[in-house]
Amino acid sequence: MTGTLPHREDAASKAIREVLGGDAPARATRGPGGEWYVPVDKSSFERAIPEIAARKFVLISLFCVEGFSPESRHSLLYVLERKGSILVLVRAVAGGQATSVATIFPSAAWPERECRDGFGIGFTGTSDTRRLLLHEPYPKDFHPLDKAFTNAPIVTNDDVPAADEYPFKAMTGEGVYQVAVGPVHAGIIEPGHFRFSVIGETVFNLEIRMFYTHRGIEKLAEGKSTEDCVKVAEAVSGDESVANVTSFCMAVERLSGITVPDRAWYLRTILCELERCCSHLGDEAGMLTDVAFALGSSQFSVLREEVFRKNAELTGSRFLRGMTCIGGVSRDIPRDRLADLAEFVGQLRKRFRVGLSIVLSTPSVIDRFSTTGVVKRELLRPLNITGPVARASGGRVDVRLDHPYGVYDRFVPVHTPIADGDVLARFTVKAQEFLDSLDLIERLIAAIPEGPVQSNEPVRDGYALALVESARGQNLCWVRVKDGRIDRYKVRTASYCNWLAIEHAVPGNIVADFPVINKSMNLSYAGTDM
Amino acid sequence: MVNAFSCLVKRKVTDEHPAKNEEIEKLGAEIKREIDARFGRSLAIRELDAGSDNAAEIEINNLSNAYYDVERFGIAFVASPRHADVLLVTGAVTHNMEIAVKKTYDAMPFPKFVVAAGDDACDGGIYKGTYAVLGGVDKVLPVDLIIPGNPPTPAQILAGLLALMKNAGKTR
Amino acid sequence: MSADFVLYCILNTAVVVLISPLFVSLVKKVKAWTQGRQGPSVFQTYYTLAKLLRKETIYSPHASWVSRVAPVACMAAILTASLFVPLVWVTEPYGGIGNIILFLYLLVVARFFMALLGLDAGSAFGGMGSSREMSVSAVIEPTTIVVFAALAFVFKTLNIFDMMAAAVSAGTLKTPILILLAISLFIILIVETSRIPVDNPETHLELTMIHEGMILEQSGKNLALMELSAAIKQTLLMALLINLIVPWGIATTLSAAAILAALVIFLVKGCVLSLVIGTFESSMAKMRFFRLPGLFMMAFFFSTLIVIIEVFA
């Protein structure tokens, strides 16, 4: 097998040798992040996929790239992960048609629809041919990610005939009542559509429809320089800016072979952990608001405001934007500021513990949280559920542990496993992660070395994959640079996969529990819709 | 009950007046229409995400926390457009959201105002001229006040809302 | 009908309409304080109602005559019920006015119109709110009857006017009975005014709304009428609690000084009760719908206990 580094055999290379066999090992190449790329043809692909699934690989992403393989215009990249190793199967698409793998890998259902919308690729063997990203106003046969289409305003349909409306699964029966919620919700929240089928108060089916805030991020990035694309990466999802920009910069640095200075990685990691803290505080406050315990919620929202203000003090942006850049960070944070941050973190820990004890000693809150919205462990692998949602259901997934990046090999996060999978488990997991992040920040500040904070090495052409652990879970980024410009920017946040868990967690619960279940997962609509 | 009593008497962290007067004056000048004096004491806001990345929503939510406490100015966020005086829109309007935005505005009773918060809502931001968005909110609705920022801080949003209410005093 | 009684009607209605918004804002203020912030001004509800009266009233295209009539009918029922509960001056009742069972069912009439209103626009949330409201009503009705029966047994009359007169003249009543009575009446108050743990009056979660869900489609003067009638209902139930359990200060004679003093004392007592309501609401989360009967059972149990004690002791 070709590759730049000597390697020990991992699950991916083993699969290439044993499952694909033949000359696959000879054609396999290793990407700069350690992932294996193997071109496969139709027959060996269809033969190998069930075996790969049997070997407990998880399909973490599926996307299309134009002009990747010499054999055809479009190529589909199937990114499979197992035990810290990544295998990317590259399928050249002949005649714009490919076989669907959604029955074997349910996490492929949405990505396949996305490829159809974006590039016009048809998938045979699938029953779901509804459009995903492009709702009714978009003209039929409009494929924005096609290179032939130059990004410009388009003419949309004003009138949508009833026959063309998005069909939801119809549920009929005695006493069945359908409740449609959204896209505009009564609170201050992003838009999304939820269709409940209820009998009385109990939900027995939930179908979601997202992509109302589809802004065309992937197309927007194409043709931009890598510096300009940093802003696009920050805009994917407002409260995951740091995670997404870090994964983008990592991908560009990997494909260009840029070495990021140590101090820059320490600072980047501090920013990542600060963002995680902010997000978890917001979730705890939100969960308590959704059970109408405002006294408890305000304990956490006050702390979150203080973290936002500290963020602004450190970086000039409450959301930590404008810091992470290609090659490191754009500005240094002086020693006195970091010492101040360390002290702040100590105070934060004490006050968080006080708030937590108030909440956990209120029986009515525990009553609402316990046994509500259970996400079963069996869902985690087929749907690629990651993040606190997975860790609260007994899953042991964390990109910082499975694919350590930056300094996470030295500063290892600690998880205490919980397997209940209910809202209380997610609340507890987020509280633990928050405290763990505070520990990490303190240790990082204590150990941060002096040195430059940005590398000036140039960006080269190539492609690379990067995974980061955002507050919500596994964020994936695949970047291809051609002639110094972005040729393809594929980003998939954790929410994109985790949304489908809600369709399984809510049935069996009462309608009034939906908001707290939704908030306990805290999924980003913008990060899904892109 | 013990918890609630102790919280009742604790020191409040609310900022005295987080929005600076100059900011209010500047934003006051950008208000396009006269505001009815009735809104000087009570303003009901319906927030609408037309395609934002959620950062502006988080900041608007922060307005209700103990530091900014927007309720003390008579500003309330309401659940239904029928109860609202102001439609606070964030994000560049995506094609997928266009109809929902129009319907929400139509459901509001007169007199009503539209505020666009954030660079994307003001003129489309980085999405200007792309296939998925119409552009700023002014492409769909008559906008009365814009609050720029990416995202605008709660202090800036509050300054905009206070400017709206302060303008109410001028008509009488 | 004596001139005294007509004067009482005017006075009582004026007082209840003027002070109800104050108590609503006060509860909000107390809840804000427990959350560590300042909260709205105590006069905020007045400003909001004044503004709503100046707004356009929009009707949904699916709305029928019910949406036009129901807010007024609801207010009419509540105002009639307000004549049954003396706030500051107890006088001789006229006709059936003051009968506690009739009072209960006037409140039910108001609730009936509110439920129809929620259904009229044909929205899912209005429908859910109406159905939940009627379910709660069906479960709380027997409990309320038993609580009122307990009141009747303690004060030996079914007429609220006579009950308050008895409470004032009897001085300090048998203390344990009062506490049980107060708890039962307080639970009825929480349920009827849709407060935590039954419902969250400040929620933005359309899927959890009960009371708020029914008024989502209202605007302008209709919304003002619905908000005011809910506020008046709260004041009436507070008055029932205050004037029966801590009756000192109620005016029993027609004298300006006595009535003014009674008004001030009632305001003070009302503020204290608002403080208690706000603190109580802040100290717990909202209960799930199917758990609510457990809460009602407490009121039912205490009232049954009172009836048994009164009958056998």
Does A170 map to a domain? Answer: no
Instruction: Report, as ranges of residue numbers, the positions in chain C whose pLDDT lies below 70.
Output: 171-175
Q: Does A293 touch chain C (CB under 8 A)?
A: yes
pLDDT for residue B27 is more than 60: yes
Cα-Cα-Cα-Cα dihedral sign, residues C78, C79, C84, C87:
positive
User: Of C115, C113, C110, C134, which is closest to residue C126 (Cα–Cα)?
Assistant: C115
Q: Closest to B66 (Cβ–Cβ): which among C35, C203, C280?
A: C35
Number of inter-chain CB pairs under 8 A, B vs C: 103
Peptide bond into B152 cis (omega under 30): no
Does A473 map to a domain? Answer: yes
Please report, to the nearest 10 degrees, the dihedral formed by the alpha carbons of residues C40, C42, C47, C49 taken in order. 100
Q: Does B131 touch chain A (CB under 8 A)?
A: yes
Evaluate whether A375 touches A500 at the Cβ level (below 8 Å): no
Which of B49, B69, B99, B123 has the highest number of chain A CBs within 10 A, making it the mutation to test binding with A? Answer: B49
Searching chain B, which residue's CA lies closest to the CA of residue A361?
B3
Determine the angle formed by the axes of helices C124-155 and C175-192, rounding to 10 degrees. Answer: 160
Cβ distance of B1 and C216 shorter than 8 Å: no
Task: Note the pLDDT of residue A352.
Answer: 96
Searching chain B, which residue's CA lies closest to the CA of residue A527?
B53
Searching chain C, which residue's CA lies closest to the CA of residue B12?
C36
User: What's the number of domains chain B is made of?
Assistant: 1
Residue A174 DSSP label: T
What is the reported pTM?
0.92
**Residue C273 C-alpha from the chain's centroid:** 13
Q: Closest to A292 (Cβ–Cβ): which among C37, C206, C286?
A: C286
pLDDT cut 70: percent of chain A above it: 98
Cβ distance of B53 and A213 shorter than 8 Å: yes
pLDDT band at B1 (very low <50, low <70, confident <90, very high): low
Cβ distance of B74 and C216 shorter than 8 Å: no
Which residue ranges make up each domain of chain C?
Answer: 3-312
pLDDT tens readout for residues A186-239: 889 999 999 999 998 899 999 999 999 999 999 999 999 999 999 999 999 999
Bridge partners, A205 (sequence order): A197
What's the alpha-carbon Rg for chain A, to the nearest Å?
23
Evaluate whether A193 touches A212 at the Cβ level (below 8 Å): yes
Task: Note the pLDDT of residue C25.
Answer: 95
Cβ distance of C39 and B85 shorter than 8 Å: no
d(CA C181, CA C151): 8
Sort out which chain A residues have CB atoms less than 8 A from C122's CB and list them. Answer: none
Q: Closest to B54 (Cβ–Cβ): which among A220, A362, A526?
A: A526
Sequence letter at residue A417: P
Cβ distance of B7 and C282 shorter than 8 Å: yes
Range of the domain at B127: 14-171
pLDDT for residue B24 is more than 80: no
CATH number for the domain including B30?
3.40.50.12280
Which of C34, C119, C207 has the highest number of chain A CBs within 10 A, making it the mutation to test binding with A? Answer: C207
Tell me the two tokens of residue A309. 């203000």
Q: Give this complex's ipTM.
A: 0.91
Does A167 map to a domain? Answer: no
User: Of A332, A355, A316, which is closest to residue A435 (Cα–Cα)?
Assistant: A355
Searching chain B, which residue's CA lies closest to the CA of residue A190?
B49
Q: Closest to B151 (Cβ–Cβ): which among A186, A238, A301?
A: A238
d(CA C231, CA A149): 59
d(CA A517, CA B8): 29
pLDDT band at A423 (very low <50, low <70, confident <90, very high): very high
DSSP C235-281: HHHHHHHHHHHS-TT-B-S--HHHHHHHHHHHHHHHHHHHHHHHHHH
Cβ distance of B57 and A238 shorter than 8 Å: yes
- For chain B, the chains sharing at least 3 beta-carbon pairs closer than 8 angstroms are A, C
d(CA C181, CA C160): 15
Q: Which of A98, A124, A150 is the last residue of a domain?
A: A124
Task: Note the pLDDT of residue B21.
Answer: 67
User: Of A373, A400, A372, A405, which is closest to residue A386 (Cα–Cα)?
Assistant: A400
Cβ distance of C285 and A292 shorter than 8 Å: yes
Q: Which of A106, A124, A142 is the last residue of a domain?
A: A124
Cβ distance of B72 and C38 shorter than 8 Å: yes
Tell me the two tokens of residue A348. 């934060």
pLDDT tens readout for residues A453-490: 999 899 999 999 999 999 999 999 999 999 999 999 99
Task: Note the pLDDT of residue B171.
Answer: 44
Cβ distance of B65 and A298 shorter than 8 Å: yes
Task: Note the pLDDT of residue A220.
Answer: 94
Tell me whether strands A36-40 and A176-181 are parallel, antiparallel or unpaired.
unpaired
CATH number for the domain including A17?
3.30.460.80
Q: Does A461 touch chain C (CB under 8 A)?
A: no
- For chain A, the chains sharing at least 3 beta-carbon pairs closer than 8 angstroms are B, C
Range of the domain at A407: 217-529
Evaluate whether A236 touches A530 at the Cβ level (below 8 Å): yes
Task: Note the pLDDT of residue B170.
Answer: 57
Q: Which of A79, A95, A124 is the last residue of a domain?
A: A124
Q: How far is C311 from chain B (nearest CA, A)?
A: 34
Q: Which residues contact A182 (CB under 8 A, 6 or more apart)?
A: A191, A192, A193, A194
Evaluate whether C253 touches C7 at the Cβ level (below 8 Å): no
Q: Does A511 touch chain C (CB under 8 A)?
A: yes
Task: Note the pLDDT of residue C175.
Answer: 65
User: Of B77, B80, B101, which is closest to residue B158 (Cα–Cα)?
Assistant: B77
Evaluate whether A493 touches A523 at the Cβ level (below 8 Å): no
Q: How far is A188 from chain C (nearest CA, A)?
A: 8
Q: Closest to B74 (Cβ–Cβ): which among C44, C58, C209?
A: C44
Q: Does C138 touch chain A (CB under 8 A)?
A: no
Which of B7, B82, B113 has the highest number of chain C CBs within 10 A, making it the mutation to test binding with C? Answer: B82
Q: Which of residues 53-112 of B touch A (CB under 8 A)?
A: 53-62, 65-68, 77, 79-80, 91-92, 94-100, 103-104
Please report, to the nearest 10 degrees, the dihedral formed by the alpha carbons of residues C265, C268, C272, C275 taken in order. 150
Does A280 map to a domain? Answer: yes
Cβ distance of C36 and A302 shorter than 8 Å: yes
End-to-end CA distance of chain A: 36
Does B1 map to a domain? Answer: no
CATH number for the domain including A288?
1.10.645.10
Bridge partners, A478 (sequence order): A465, A490
Q: How far is B109 from chain C (nearest CA, A)?
A: 5
Sort out which chain B residues have CB atoms less than 8 A from A187's CB and list them. Answer: 77, 79
Cβ distance of A201 and C287 shorter than 8 Å: no
Task: Note the pLDDT of residue C100.
Answer: 93
Does A180 map to a domain? Answer: no
Sort out which chain A residues have CB atoms less than 8 A from C202's CB and list them. Answer: 294
Q: Which residues contact A202 (CB under 8 A, 6 or more apart)?
A: A508, A509, A510, A511
d(CA A91, CA A263): 40
Tell me the two tokens of residue A512. 């009034």
Q: How far is A365 from chain C (nearest CA, A)?
A: 6
Residue A112 shares a structural domain with residue A243: no
In the block, residue with structure tokens 């033949």: A22
Reduced to 3 states (helix: H, G, I; strand: E, B; else coil), residue A58 is strand
Q: Which residues contact A509 (CB under 8 A, 6 or more apart)?
A: A202, A203, A372, A373, A517
Q: How far is B18 from chain C (nearest CA, A)?
A: 14
Cβ distance of C30 and B8 shorter than 8 Å: yes
Q: Does A151 touch chain C (CB under 8 A)?
A: no
Q: Which of residues 37-76 of A touch B (CB under 8 A)?
A: none
Which of C280, C281, C288, C290 has the highest number of chain A CBs within 10 A, making it the mutation to test binding with A? Answer: C288
Task: Note the pLDDT of residue A170.
Answer: 82
Segment among A239-253, B31-45, C194-208 with least mean pLDDT: B31-45
Q: How far is A174 from chain C (nearest CA, A)?
A: 17
Sort out which chain C residues have CB atoms less than 8 A from B168's CB and list them. Answer: none
Tell me the two tokens of residue C76. 């009419």
Cα-Cα-Cα-Cα dihedral sign, residues A194, A198, A200, A202:
negative
DSSP A354-368: HHHHHHHT-HHHHHH
pLDDT tens readout for residues A313-322: 999 999 999 9
Q: What is the number of alpha carbons within 13 Å of residue B95 lying toward its C-beta?
A: 20
Q: How far is C28 from chain A (nearest CA, A)?
A: 12
Cα-Cα-Cα-Cα dihedral sign, residues A308, A309, A310, A311:
positive
Task: Note the pLDDT of residue C171.
Answer: 60
Evaluate whether B133 touches B127 at the Cβ level (below 8 Å): yes
d(CA A442, CA A90): 43
Does B2 map to a domain? Answer: no
Q: Which residue blocks in chain C are alpha helix, DSSP H?
A: 3-34, 44-53, 65-82, 100-120, 124-155, 160-169, 175-192, 211-214, 220-245, 256-282, 292-312
Q: Does B39 touch chain C (CB under 8 A)?
A: yes
Q: Does A292 touch chain B (CB under 8 A)?
A: no
Reduced to 3 states (helix: H, G, I; strand: E, B; else coil), residue B46 is strand
Does A236 map to a domain? Answer: yes
User: What's the number of domains chain A is made of?
Assistant: 2
Does A174 map to a domain? Answer: no
Does A436 map to a domain? Answer: yes
Does B9 map to a domain? Answer: no
pLDDT band at A2 (very low <50, low <70, confident <90, very high): very low
Sort out which chain A residues have CB atoms less than 8 A from B136's CB and list them. Answer: none
Tell me how many helices (H) and strands (E) chain B has: 6, 7
pLDDT band at A1 (very low <50, low <70, confident <90, very high): very low
Task: Note the pLDDT of residue C44.
Answer: 93
DSSP C93-131: --TTTTBHHHHHHHHHHHHHHHHHHHHHT--HHHHHHHH
Reduced to 3 states (helix: H, G, I; strand: E, B; else coil), residue A157 is coil
Cβ distance of B96 and A152 shorter than 8 Å: no
Rounded (5°) CA angle A186-A188-A189: 90
Average pLDDT, chain A: 92
Cβ distance of C40 and B72 shorter than 8 Å: yes
